[in-house]
Every structure is written in structure tokens, then in C-alpha cells.
Amino acid sequence: MSGARRIGDFAWEIPTDFKPGMRVPGVVFADEELFEAAGRDKALDQVANVAFLQGIVGRSLAMPDIHWGYGFPIGGVAAFDESSGVVSPGGVGFDISCGVRLLNTGLTEDEVRPGLRDLMATLASNIPKGLGTRGRIHSTESVLRKVLTRGAREMVGMGYGHEEDIDHTERGGAYPGADPARVSARAFERGADQLGTLGSGNHFLEVQVVEKIFMEKEARAFGLHEGQVTVMIHSGSRGFGHQVCTDYLQVMDRVVNRLGWELPDRQLACAPLGSGEADDYLAAMACACNYAIANRQAQMHWTRESFEQFFKASDRALGLHLLFDVSHNVARMEDHQVDGRRRRVCVHRKGATASFPAGHPDVPAAYSEVGQPVLIPGDMGTHSYVLVGTETAMKESFGSTCHGAGRTMSRSKAKKTIRGPELKERLERQGIVVLAGNVKMLAEEAPEAYKDVSRVVDVCQGAGLSSKVAMLRPMGVLKG
């Protein structure tokens, strides 16, 4: 990319003169190949565009899984001063709080492998999945309002899980500041029957085995060891979050027009922090975060029930303990060091994960001595990773790291070049049991449609944004 310069083994700078109007430089964490791929994708232009926004501090950032998105690139991170900055729905995305939950088990691969196909069938029968799927929970408006306010806490109160699950969930199971009154009637309609559903696209439930441990102390703290079976749930806020984003993009567009702001991309529509529109969006976004966390909590509950049914033992006897639940698409008010002083900023992470170090106030007490677990999902047939947050991330990336592999191929192109049934057969030959509601749609999420997740993770480790704790190999995949 003309004008960009390398500033480290795993970092590139886009200077402010790349586009007149940039308030801060852009920085992309990548090796040479990943950086060039981002340039071809035009995602680097989006990194520069974000740098135009009012009140942005430090740098406009992108993780190595960067690719083109709506307004902000996916993999984008930016922080805005609380008194002069903005909040932008495009900096969070449509699937608000899309995230990952990892469930540890006390089982080994040898104990699970012989009955894996039947276990996956049990999971498939218990967990609703697929585009437009209705859930098992009858969500009246009064129930939904409680879920939007209390998140996983409300689900546990309804019997979907254990009290200790809350202690191993980001933000104690519920984002603060949620106000259902800031949510449209249409969002309520779309969310009413989708609570506890896996969804489609890149969302999945995967039975995995811990193949390799990189950091013994951290792995012990996380309850991980080689040969252990885990379950990863990757899901989000479904139609509810999508509607919240859609609604507030229209609101923000009117704000931009009223204030006469000129933006390099209308998809960056935003509102000043502290304004009524910004407060409304953040309150509605928190509702969508709590919906997503509750959604994953319900799916984990039915995962536990599936294991209980299959192994004829209680979930506690089987060692089914939640390791952590973390969101990828959020905007949060946080305190960070910027230009040598502590500042309150609104950190947008779109396709990026918080990566807080040991002792950080947002790290659950169980992990305070080692740091926050960072959960990085792979793509069917590829490894997933458990990482841990670092001090370097606090200094270099507002406490952020990657969230996955990042696409290299559009869904439409993937469907044209890859056949779903052939992909399923290939994965089965690798020992991966695949159950999908629509086999033809599998092609959209083929491993070759994504970057190499191991490479992305290695770049984050090389840049100091997170450290590898464990590598997980897929055994069985449940897709919508």
C-alpha cells in the first residue's frame, strides 16, 4: 500500500497524510502477507476512514484478521474521548456481541470419540440452529425485558445454568446501562423467538480436544490439559442485534446531517458521546449484548443436558464447567493511558476481543493472577485457540487482540468455488463429524474462505497483544 511503512516485525503504519482529514495515524498489526491481503481487500482504506472521526485518540487500529466490513473494517479497534468523541454503530457491527463461550469437560478424547456421532446428533436435536430458527424459550415481552437487562443472570435465575457461570462470564454476565425502552418494537419482534438459537453463517457449536498446551500456569488456571475435551459455542444476538444496529444507523445518519459533518463514508454515521442519540444507542447496544450472552448461556445449558443424556451422568460429575464467555463486537467505556495520561474513552471493538492482563479490574477473580482468557475460534477443520491478555495490549491496542481468522473470500465466491457436500466428506475423512442444517451452505464457511487462524494468532503473539495458552482441535461441528 503506497504511503504505509513498516514500524515493527508485526506492525504497519498508515500516516495521516495518506488521506487529508485523518486526525490520527492508522496502525495494522500484520505480517507482510496479511498486510498485503488487507490492501487488496480495501480494508486499509477503512482503517484510514475511521481516523477521520471526531475525538479519536491514539491511533486507528486493525488486528491481523482484518477484512472489509460495514464502515469500520472487521478487526478494527478505535477509542474516542468521552468529552469530544463519538460512538458509531458501524464500529460495533450488526451482530452485536457476537462472541465465544468455552465449556471445559472432565472427559478425554478416548472417552468421547467412540460415540461422537451419536453425541453430535443429541446436541443437534437439543439446540435450535439455522437461519430464522425459532427457539425453545417462550419469550414474552416481560421475559425479554428482564433478559435484556440482566443477561446471563436472568437465564440462570430461570434455571438455565449455575450461579458460578456468572463468575466466568465477561462483565459478570450482563453489560451495564441496558435500557429496553431504547429498543424498537421491531427489535422485540425479531428477538422474541430466537433466544437460545445457534443461528447460521460462521456460527457453530464445536466439540474439541486440547491438542497442545503452550503455557502451563495459565492452562492450569483455565482448567485445561492436553487430551481434554471442550465445547466451543460461537453465536451472537441474532435478529435482535441486527435490528438494533439497523435502527440506530438511521438515527446516526440524521445526526450527521443535522451537525453538518462530512464523513469519508456514510457508513461511519455517528453521534457525539453524551448526546441523547449516543446514550440511546449505547443503552440499546447493551441490551443486545445481554441478549447475546443469554443466548449463549441457554445453548450451554442444553449442551450440558445433551452430555448428561448421552453419558448418563450429571453435568457436575462430567466436569462441565464454563471457562469463559467473551464478546467480539462491542463499544465500551474504559480507562486507558493515552499520550501519558489516563483518559476515559469509548473503545470500539469490531471483530476484536478484549485482551486484559493479570490484575485488570475487568478480569474475573478466578483468573486475576494470570489474565483474561481470550477465545479465538477456528473455521471448520482448523484449530481454535485459548490465549491470555497482556500488558502490551494495554499499551499498544487499548487492551485488544484478534477475534478469529478473518475472511479472504466472500460467501458468494466461496459457494461458487466450493461444494458443500464435498467439503463435508473431506472433513469427515479428517475425523471431524459435521452436522449441518443445510449442507450446501457449508461452502460459505470452508477453511479456505478464511485466513490461516494459526498465522493470525502468531502475529498477535509476536506483536505482544496476547499469548498462546492452548490449541484446540475440532472433533465434531454443529452448523445451522
- Distances in Å between the Cα of 396 and the Cα atoms of 72, 168, 180, 454, 455 are 19, 26, 35, 21, 20
Q: Which helix (H) or strand (E) holds 332?
A: strand 330-338
Q: Note whether 77 and 63 are within 8 A (CB).
A: yes
Residue length, the chain? 480
Q: CA quadruple 367, 371, 377, 383: dihedral positive or negative?
A: negative
Whether residue 403 lies in the annotated active site: yes
Query: Coil, strand, or helix at residue 372?
Result: coil
Of 392, 388, 395, the closest CA to residue 336 belongs to 395
| DSSP conformation class of 442 | G
Query: Helix (H, G, I), strand (E, B), or coil: what is residue 106?
Result: strand
Q: Which member of 67, 301, 348, 403 is catalytic?
A: 403
136 CA to centre of own chain: 24
Cα separation, 390 vs 326, whole angstroms: 16
Write the secondary structure of 263-320 as one string of H (helix), E (strand) and C (coil): CCCHHHCCEECCCHHHHHHHHHHHHHHHHHHHHHHHHHHHHHHHHHHHHCCCCCCCCC
Smallest CA-to-CA distance from 29 within 432, 428, 400 is with 400
Active site members: 403
